[in-house]
Amino acid sequence: MDDNAQIRKNVKLCYHYLITHFLKLLLLSSLTVLVMNVSRLNLNHLAFIFLVAFLGTTLFFMSRPRSVYLLDYSCYLPPSSLQLSHQKFMNHSKLINTFNESSLEFQSKILKRSGLGHETFLPEAIHDVPPRPTMAAAREEAELVVFGVLDSLFENTKVNIKEISVLVVNCSLFNPTPSLSAMIVNKYKLRENVKSFNLGGMGCSAGVIAVDLANDMLQIHRNTYALVVSTENITQNWYFGNKKAMLIPNCLFRLGGSAVLLSNKSCDRRRSKYKLVHTVRTHKGSDEKAFNCVYQEQDEDLKTGVSLSKDLMSIAGAALKTNITTLGPLVLPMSEQILFFATFLANKLFSSKKKMKPYMPDFKLAFDHFCIHAGGRAVIDELEKSLRLLPKHVEASRMTLHRFGNTSSSSIWYELAYTEAKGRMRKGNRVWQIAFGSGFKCNSAVWVALRDVEPSVKNPWENCIHRYPVKIDL
């Protein structure tokens, strides 16, 4: 780094420090003046000041939303028998005799460039030759994942299951009757008045949507728990055709799922890992290109799959900009907001002249950890570049993609588990979970750590974290 660059960096740090602490200095000065002049005030003035302070404090506590805490969460770790290396994937694809040579070559290229390792997992029905994309096999996959994460979660939290009054399940492509939420109610004998929701077709960002819905329900129902289950089902959604845009999901999506236990009980704060700070949802579905960029359809041979548009990354970038425009004022320090607004105002006032490049706020000043949906190498690369992140900020996302593949809406929880397994989560650290999904949607959740967080029992990384991070050759 040259001298000029170092000087600019130091000047910006001084600027951020001054602006960040400006309000604190102003408040301290005002209190000092008030204390120095309190002897000059009569009883009526003091009574008025006390009344205003009392009413303001009362109004603040009555109007603020209920705090929502994350007691714990669990991610599914499939048995090693379901692992699939690149070579085994390609051998299997050749054996089932549905792909032509061009499709096989395309899948091989995608796998090599995907960022996935050789230890990701696929359901048993896809391992079989020929595959078994039946309803029964799909139910078996759902039960394996969902019951697996819930058993682990309930064992770790020791919660009374009858106290859970809200259940939100999201699975995009498998929505049987009875629903997956009903399957959970039946298995664990949840209370008869449980408020259950089953979200379908909402893509990889549905995990944040489910948390947002659970948060809304916890604002209404007092002293209770909400259970959020996020998964995807591969068994009936494997594509057996030769349309290349529909072959990409075969190469990226893998078996996985998560379960999260939320509470609005104030007594649970001490044993909780995190507190939910913000959720921000962005939906670009009114735009035709955005709506169609991730689209389930049948090819010319009537084989069903999910088609990914070439415009996907540009649409994701536009959705991200909209999302951070809303999120920024909620999380960024005032110093960054002033710089952003000044650039925006300058471009508006001097529109006839050459415009300044829009200022991208430095979100590293707002967050300590980033959980970017492991949708694929291109997604992580684009966000690393757009948000000006460092390699360490996207390490959890890259390693999750390498170890588990794209597990859809649950991937952000595998990333958080990675950060905990590495021992990096400290009290007061802020976490940004950001996910993209069909529709097209970009959704964010912000959490703050309530303590130094240790990995829970059966953390999905507990037996392999010593091997990570690994160098990924592309």
Give catalytic residue positions: 204, 283, 369, 373, 402, 406
DSSP bridge partners of 195: 166
Q: Give Cβ neighbours of residue 376 (< 8 Å, ≥ 6 apart).
A: 114, 115, 252, 401, 406
The rounded distance, in Å, linking the Cα atoms of 174 and 198 is 11
Angle, CA 269 vertex, CA 370 and CA 223 arms, to 5°: 115
The rounded distance, in Å, linking the Cα atoms of 66 and 45 is 34
The rounded distance, in Å, linking the Cα atoms of 157 and 271 is 9
Locus of tokens 């960054």: 336
Say if residues 260 and 227 touch (Cβ distance below 8 Å).
yes
Crossing angle of helices 377-386 and 312-331, in 10° steps, is 40
Alpha carbon dihedral 422, 424, 426, 431, in 10-degree steps, equals -100
- Six token digits for residue 342: 């000044």
Angle, CA 275 vertex, CA 319 and CA 62 arms, to 5°: 100
Say if residues 259 and 227 touch (Cβ distance below 8 Å).
yes
Distances (CA, A) of 69 to 73, 151, 268, 431, 447: 11, 20, 7, 14, 9
Q: Phi and psi (nearest 5°) for 118?
A: -105, 15
Crossing angle of helices 395-404 and 377-386, in 10° steps, is 180
Say if residues 91 and 235 touch (Cβ distance below 8 Å).
no
Parallel, antiparallel, or unpaired for β 304-308 and 120-121? unpaired
